[in-house]
Chains A and B, each alone.
Chain A
Amino acid sequence: MNKVNKANLPAAIFIFFLLIVWEIGALKMNASYILPTPIQIIKKIWELREALFTVHLPATMLVTGVGLAISVVLGLALAIAMDSSEIIRKTLYPLVVATQTIPITAIAPLFVVWFGYGIWSKIVVAVLMTFFPITITVYDGLRSARLEMAELLRTYGARRAEVFRIIKIPCALPYFFSAVKMAVPISIIGAAIGEWLGAQSGLGYFSRRMMSQLDGAGVFAPIVLLSAVAMIAVAILAVIEKKCVKWRGEN
């Protein structure tokens, strides 16, 4: 067993223990339309595998992926703009914060009215929820580049663009990865919320449909799938991060 697995062992044991408690509790309660057991959920995923994996999972992933891509581009652009100019920062920062005070679940139905039942209303929800952590975290990363380092480069004759490339980007890189790792699960949640509120496909939509049929396990099945996908995505990002960032938070 390698090191990583060893480190995760306590968590794995604990989760297994919780699942057993859940299983026993749910069996005792015997109301699977409200609280299905883990085994029932797994069975359900298997039964519905065709619809889940070929229709609804791809639909949700499309929304998540497009939403995340837009958020990353938007977040990076905002962060760089705010870092580059004091006036831009003062103008945008409060606005960026204000977007986070919007109770998105409450106004998301409006997005459906505005953008239709297609993927764009869901993408807007996902973007609204994810661009904020990316913007703020990357902005902090750019700020973390120490002024003295930039000054030293300037004494060598470096121009502003060179300072940005040589110092700011490497300094912001670990922050960028943290931001994206945070944004992936949020983006998936955003997509699912969007689908809950009005869609024709997607895991959020599927979960809601099962809800109306009082199929407890059917409600949980897509949710379990969403969590699993989020965890896998974050794990993949962690591997990429390890390859790209060889240092972190020195000094």
Chain B
Amino acid sequence: MLEFKNVSYQYDSEDFDIIDKLSFKIERGTFNSIIGISGCGKSTIFRLTNGLLKAKSGEITIDGISIQELKQYCGYMPQKDLLFPWLTVGENVEMPLNFRGKISKREKRNRAEQVLSDVGLQDCADKMPHELSGGMRQRASFARTLLTDSELLLLDEPFSALDFLTRLSMQEWLLDQCMKYNKTILFITHDVEEAILLSDNILVVEKTPISELKKISVPMEYPRTRKMLERRDILELKDELIDKLRAQMTV
């Protein structure tokens, strides 16, 4: 589905390519987590994918078509929920629909209400964002991302700002959502356990500049539960990943 071919990117303020001839592929319908330490360039990969940054060289394609020729091909969910505080939750959620040609007000509203009830926020369309809790806001933000109607979703550490227990329940909630929608998901996190619980594949950033993502498949079947994380092979995988990340810290 998504493919990076020899992609390089350099920030103006830096004298090296933070993304250095990177190639990788994401299969349709899979959940992929990119893990790496802070500042390693994970988010840069996202920003290249959603078009906020332009690659210096190389090509990013979706189903073989360069993203430069595509529009609205991915739904991007930022780290902070970024709900606009002056709009109702419903108006926030229908925002992506405003840029998709003529859609009637009523249809937008219907779709917003539909997707809100899908994420468990029925009756919240007319509330203001500040009336929602942190977890509810993230769910609203996810609902908004779904209304981009994109096959590919980019989720940038969506749960990192939540408290521990909310985060656990949101992870389980996202597992459910993924089963339901069967989207292709690219997920950034630095929480190894979160990555294992959610992903088909984990893409590890082992060093910066990023020239390679080490792909590790998670040997767990869906539907998953948190209990499975206690399996011996999973615990070993977790240790391995933590070691990999740690090795990078000391470099």
Contacts and interface: CB of A to CB of B under 8 A. Distances in A.
> Does B bind A?
yes
Interface of A: 146, 148-149, 151-158, 162, 166-167, 170, 173, 245-247, 250-251
30 contacts: A146-B82, A148-B78, A148-B80, A149-B82, A149-B84, A151-B52, A151-B78, A152-B82, A153-B95, A155-B50, A155-B51, A155-B74, A156-B95, A157-B71, A157-B99, A157-B100, A158-B98, A158-B99, A162-B98, A162-B99, A166-B95, A170-B86, A173-B86, A245-B86, A246-B86, A246-B128, A247-B85, A247-B86, A250-B85, A250-B129
Most buried by A among B52, B86, B98, B100: B86
Contacts of B142: none
Q: Do most interface residues of chain A lie in helix, strand or loop, or is the interface mixed?
A: helix
Nearest to B148: A156
Interface residues of B, number: 23
Interface string B38-82: 000000000000111000000000000000000110111010101
A150 to B, nearest CB: 10
B130 interface: yes
Contacts of A157: 71-72, 99-100
B96 interface: yes
A156 B99 contact: yes
A162 B99 CA distance: 9
Nearest to B74: A155
A251 B76 contact: no
Given A151-B52, A155-B52, A247-B130, A167 B72 contact: no
Given A162-B99, A166-B84, 20 more contacts: A148-B78, A151-B52, A152-B78, A153-B95, A155-B50, A155-B52, A155-B76, A156-B72, A156-B95, A156-B96, A156-B148, A157-B71, A157-B72, A157-B100, A166-B95, A167-B84, A247-B85, A247-B128, A250-B85, A251-B85
Contacts of B52: 151, 154-155
A5 B56 CA distance: 63
Most buried by A among B51, B71, B72, B98: B98
A212 B47 CA distance: 71
A250 B78 contact: no
A154 B98 CA distance: 12
Interface in B71-127: 71-72, 74-76, 78, 80, 82, 84-86, 95-96, 98-100
Contacts of A170: 84, 86
Contacts of A245: 86
Nearest to A159: B99
A149 to B, nearest CB: 6
Kindly list the 8 A-B residue pairs having the minimum CB-CB distance in the complex, ordered from nearest: A250-B85, A157-B99, A170-B86, A155-B76, A156-B96, A247-B85, A155-B50, A156-B99
B71 to A, nearest CB: 6
A155 B72 CA distance: 7
Contacts of B84: 149, 166-167, 170
Contacts of B80: 148, 251
A73 B100 CA distance: 34
Nearest to A167: B84
Contacts of A152: 76, 78, 82
A167 B92 CA distance: 12
Nearest to A173: B86
A148 B130 contact: no
Nearest to A245: B86
A102 to B, nearest CB: 37
A205 B226 CA distance: 81
Contacts of A251: 80, 85
A44 to B, nearest CB: 48
Contacts of B98: 156, 158, 162, 166
A250 B130 contact: yes
Nearest to A248: B85
B109 to A, nearest CB: 17
